[in-house]
Amino acid sequence: MNKRRRRLVQASLLGGAVAAGGLLPACAQPARQGKTIEPRRNGSLRILVLGGTGFIGPHMVREALRRGHSVELFNRGRTNSELFPDLVTYVGDRNNGLAPLAGGRWDVVIDNSGYVPRHVADSARMLATRASHYIFVSSISAYADFGSPLDEDSPLATIEDETVEEVTNETYGPLKALCEKRAAEEFGAERVAVLRPTYICGPGDHTDRYTYWPVRTMRGGEMLWPGTPQDPVQIIDVRDLANFVTDVAEKRISGNYNTVIPAGSFTMGGLLADCQAVTAAEMNPVWVDYEFMQTNGAAEGNEFPIWVPPQSDDAYIARVSGARARAKGLTTRPTRETARDTISWWKTLPEERSGNLRSGLKPAREEKLLAAWKSRQS
């Protein structure tokens, strides 16, 4: 994959936290908050979540608690630190600040916050004698190329200088691939599970990449839809990912797994139907073809998040095989449920947040593109 293409793919998959500076070094604060965990009950697991307070972490924490496991958290105390006042939270920075974890023992570690290989190596090394199982949340960005069908054995991205720690649109994927490698080296591959999600969506998503579509639909009027209704699109509902991660923990599963809805099961037309069904908005879709999008500089980048033009050389980003995870029990809910719950969550947000979509086409730009499209048609 050429450099420009990789940058664009990473740009579209990279979560908001890194871009928002979530990895800036902070001083470690070796403090311990919260109550002592319950003694272990029969069959229940002691789970340590590295990064349990962002977008996907809280869903995992709640699912694990719902199933009767005990959960402890490790993070810097910057993100949603009020979320779980009753859980033990070890406060520290992955950047040389793991000391607060020195005395603990866990059955499973869920690593949600690994972007830098050195951080993952340090935690996997330190926890190798303190935990039995390490689950690393990676990304499909870890793959080298999206120009042909992908499964877990497809080649991974590489980076020339493996000491690079700056997470950018370009380095995110190769660094994730290196993080996976470091986890296996330090913890032992037979005790490590690697999950590679595609676009994670649903309630709480701070990127608005999927959310843009139902929220924009709710606004009504003429709405630009890119490509064709047949264009494939692939997502994973954060709650399905949380269920699967908990299954992986309970069953002590190891190996690599793409966590995606089945390839070919969802299209842009399906997304449109979901958006219309859950918003009941008076919205007129205007499908605009790929050629027009290209000519107007709208076929790449983040103006149409999660849409991947089938004509582009990273078309298979929307058709990743999830068969291996399904064979281990991954189930995915109807996409309409994701749309419905995303809108319900959106409506609970304060206006300063809900008035400011973080992804998708800006209204003025949409108007301009629609006008250009119409003048070309007439």
Ligand X SMILES: NC(=O)c1ccc[n+]([C@@H]2O[C@H](COP(=O)([O-])OP(=O)(O)OC[C@H]3O[C@@H](n4cnc5c(N)ncnc54)[C@H](OP(=O)(O)O)[C@@H]3O)[C@@H](O)[C@H]2O)c1
The residues that touch ligand X, with contacts defined as CB under 6 A, are 13, 15, 17, 22-23, 51-57, 75-79, 93-95, 112-114, 137, 139, 197, 199-200, 207
Compute the least distance from the CB of residue 68 to ligand X, in Å: 23
User: How many whole angstroms separate alpha carbon 201 and alpha carbon 56?
Assistant: 9
Most distant CA atoms of the chain, gap in Å: 72
Residue nearest to ligand X (CB): 54
User: How many whole angstroms separate alpha carbon 129 and alpha carbon 187?
Assistant: 9
- Contact predicate 283/225, CB 8 Å: no
Q: What are phi and psi of 215, to 5 degrees?
A: -70, -40
Compute the least distance from the CB of residue 284 to ligand X, in Å: 29
- Pick between residue 51 and residue 203 the one whose CB is nearest to ligand X: 51
User: E strand or H helix at 270, and its extent?
Assistant: helix 268-279
Compute the least distance from the CB of residue 157 to ligand X, in Å: 14
Compute the least distance from the CB of residue 165 to ligand X, in Å: 11
- Pick between residue 84 and residue 373 the one whose CB is nearest to ligand X: 84
What 8-state DSSP symbol labels residue 221? E
Compute the least distance from the CB of residue 78 to ligand X, in Å: 4
- Pick between residue 303 and residue 366 the one whose CB is nearest to ligand X: 303
**Beta strand extents in 231-360 (DSSP E only):** 236-237, 255-259, 283-288
Sheet holding 46-50, edge to edge: 31-33, 89-91, 70-75, 46-50, 106-111, 131-137, 192-197, 255-259
Please say whether the dihedral angle defined by the alpha carbons of residues 80, 85, 87 and 92, taken in this order, is positive or negative. Answer: positive
- Pick between residue 166 and residue 291 the one whose CB is nearest to ligand X: 166
- Pick between residue 283 and residue 330 the one whose CB is nearest to ligand X: 330
- Pick between residue 57 and residue 203 the one whose CB is nearest to ligand X: 57
